[in-house]
Structure 1
Amino acid sequence: MSEKSHLNNLLLLIVATVFISTSGPLGKFIDMPTVVIIFWRSILAAIFLFALCLFKGIKLKINSKKDRLTFFIAAFLMGAHWVTYFYALKLSNVAIGMISVFTFPVIIALLEPLFSKTKLDPIHILLGIMVLLGIYILAPEFDIENNYLQGILFGLLSAVCYALRILMLKEHVTNYNGTMLMFYQVIIIAALLVPVLFFMDTSNITTQYPYVLLLAIVTTVIGHTMFVNSLKYFKASTASIIGSLQPIFGIIIAFFFLNEIPTLHTFVGGMLILATVIIESIRSKAK
């Protein structure tokens, strides 16, 4: 790969990361119940991803019943990840919500031995302790009534769901196209959330649809598709190091558009958590 094309691919990866980072500020800003946001995000993304699959001639065939079950469980986990992540954003702020979710690379490292034959590396226990220390600093007080603590707990639950989804897909469906995978995930999430429309107020969509469209197209379709495509040119570890800039981009966007200013606690705790993500990514690259 020439230096120019390498720089172009790196720039596209950073742009994809910025696009995905908009999920935090948009999730906080959109004035609708969380599950309703996720339904509209999923159904709109499904329409655009289906069109993209048709345009690119991507096959939608699933090879086996086992893969169908994997797709379904992974989609359920993805939906749970999105819903709990948006609850984290609504209860706390963009900085705390995004940083809490970014514990997922260390959670993956700790859970991986349960999914494959790899042994637990003692360094992962140390990284796990660093993450816990970061969360302890992040939390203003350990009172379950405190919205910020609830936000952190929802963020951690979101990270666990996301980590489990990645581990499931990694083991079973390496022979499928990323856009096709994303299409099935969002269409299943939308189908699972249809009942929500019957007992939750969805009238706000008339004023919120431009922002929901942004979330569906910019964050989900363009951001995630570009990020998946970047894996052709970079190791997963390199992509995850760049990806760990998401909370930083999200905090910057929230500062300019939502006037959210992170506290010193958020800054110190967040830097500790992001440091563990970068250490784990560099270590995985060196293996």
Structure 2
Amino acid sequence: MKNTHVKHVLWLTVATVFISTSGALGKFIDMPIPVIVWWRSALAAGFLFLFCKYKKINLKIHSKKDRLTFFVSALFLGAHWITYFYALKLSNVAIGMLSLFTFPIITAILEPFFSKVKFDPIHLVLGGLVLIGIYFLAPDFDLESSQLKGVLFGLLSAVCYAIRTLMLKQHVTTYNGSMLMFYQVLILAAVLIPSLFILGTSAIETQFPYVILLALLTTAIGHTMFINSLNYFKVSTASIIASTQPIFGIIIAFFFLNEIPTWNTYLGGALIISTVVIESMRSKRKKS
């Protein structure tokens, strides 16, 4: 029993590492951002379709209301990815990932607007800690600063991701996780087709290996493994382990992009990740 638990923890950690590669890959790939997201979505849709067929996962959507939810949430996923990649390009992997990782607290604050969950005043305190962490990431409030722009895009990405997650939350128990992800990236790929003609995709010849990694390793495998891990862990437990994503992302960026975070980044990151762990442990106690 203990060995089984250790194996599940190991696979969840591997999934977290795979998802963490999005930072370095998003920063490194040299193509227009909407085009990167199109390739990521289109290739991931292909991989996930084959996986669903192999596992004989039902791809039927039950109602028109669900189709509308899938479509709108896919748009928020696209906005999340595009703004996240802008955050990476404008600043660095550490700032981009840490700004994005404000999403658990943003989700907690927005959740009462999407469900019958009551607002918890402690979230204002945790939100305040996150804002202090954000201040350390960009202490000079200069709108011309690319670092501040990176933080703001990262925060916008976090808001989009939180809304998308809250919209899909009600469907997790009804539909398979891989099926949900398949329709998300399929819809996004269809919506972003015009970007190929407007911005061009000729650079794919030199960037294809890295785009494949982003679509297969980060998106299809990483996210599928993480969703499957929820069969063995509470969401709160998985969230605590997932909060190590920025740490893994910073390490990967250090080795592959030679990016060295500043002390301000370490301080801000520690505050942001601490709030995620506190909220995850609080939610775990409430459910136990």
Following superposition, the deviation at residue 201 of structure 1 comes to: 2.8
User: Which SS does the other structure have where 2:119 is aligned?
Assistant: coil
Q: Confirm whether residue 256 of structure 1 aligns to residue 246 of structure 2.
A: no
1:83-98 aligned at under 5 Å gives the runs 83-98=82-97
Computed over aligned residues only, the root mean square deviation of the Cα atoms, in angstroms, reads 0.7
1:239-250 aligned at under 5 Å gives the runs 239-250=238-249
- C-alpha separation in 2, matches of 1:186 and 1:283: 32
Following superposition, the deviation at residue 172 of structure 1 comes to: 4.2
- C-alpha separation in 2, matches of 1:35 and 1:141: 29
Deviation by residue 1:47-95 (Cα, 9 ceiling, x = unmatched) = 0100001111001100001100000011111111000000000000000
Following superposition, the deviation at residue 169 of structure 1 comes to: 0.7
Match of residue 21 from structure 1: 20
Report runs of 4+ in structure 1 exceeding 6 Å deviation: none
User: Which SS does the other structure have where 2:273 is aligned?
Assistant: helix
Q: Confirm whether residue 214 of structure 1 aligns to residue 213 of structure 2.
A: yes
- C-alpha separation in 2, matches of 1:178 and 1:227: 10
Q: Normalising by the residue count of structure 2, what TM-score does the alignment of the two structures yield? A: 0.98
- C-alpha separation in 2, matches of 1:258 and 1:218: 18
User: Which SS does the other structure have where 2:261 is aligned?
Assistant: coil
Match of residue 114 from structure 2: 115
Match of residue 58 from structure 1: 57
1:71-220 aligned at under 5 Å gives the runs 71-220=70-219
Match of residue 272 from structure 1: 271
How many residue pairs end up in the alignment? 286
Following superposition, the deviation at residue 137 of structure 1 comes to: 1.1
- C-alpha separation in 1, matches of 2:276 and 2:194: 37
Match of residue 9 from structure 1: 8
User: Which SS does the other structure have where 1:232 is aligned?
Assistant: coil
Match of residue 223 from structure 1: 222
User: Which SS does the other structure have where 2:170 is aligned?
Assistant: helix
Following superposition, the deviation at residue 173 of structure 1 comes to: 4.8
Amino acid at match of 2:179: M
Larger mean Cα displacement after TM superposition, 230-239 or 117-126: 117-126
- C-alpha separation in 2, matches of 1:53 and 1:119: 37
- C-alpha separation in 1, matches of 2:95 and 2:80: 16
Residue 17 of structure 1 contacts residue 227 of structure 1 at CA under 8 Å; is this kept in 2? Answer: yes
Following superposition, the deviation at residue 140 of structure 1 comes to: 3.8
- C-alpha separation in 2, matches of 1:190 and 1:201: 15
- C-alpha separation in 2, matches of 1:192 and 1:267: 37
% identical equivalent positions: 70
Q: Which runs of 5+ in 1 are unaligned?
A: none
- C-alpha separation in 2, matches of 1:211 and 1:117: 42
User: Which SS does the other structure have where 2:232 is aligned?
Assistant: coil
Following superposition, the deviation at residue 249 of structure 1 comes to: 0.1
1:24-43 aligned at under 5 Å gives the runs 24-43=23-42
Following superposition, the deviation at residue 202 of structure 1 comes to: 1.3
User: Which SS does the other structure have where 2:201 is aligned?
Assistant: coil
Amino acid at match of 2:111: E
User: Which SS does the other structure have where 1:237 is aligned?
Assistant: helix
Residue 36 of structure 1 contacts residue 200 of structure 1 at CA under 8 Å; is this kept in 2? Answer: yes
Q: Normalising by the residue count of structure 1, what TM-score does the alignment of the two structures yield? A: 0.99
Residue 34 of structure 1 contacts residue 83 of structure 1 at CA under 8 Å; is this kept in 2? Answer: yes
- C-alpha separation in 1, matches of 2:191 and 2:42: 11
- C-alpha separation in 2, matches of 1:10 and 1:189: 31
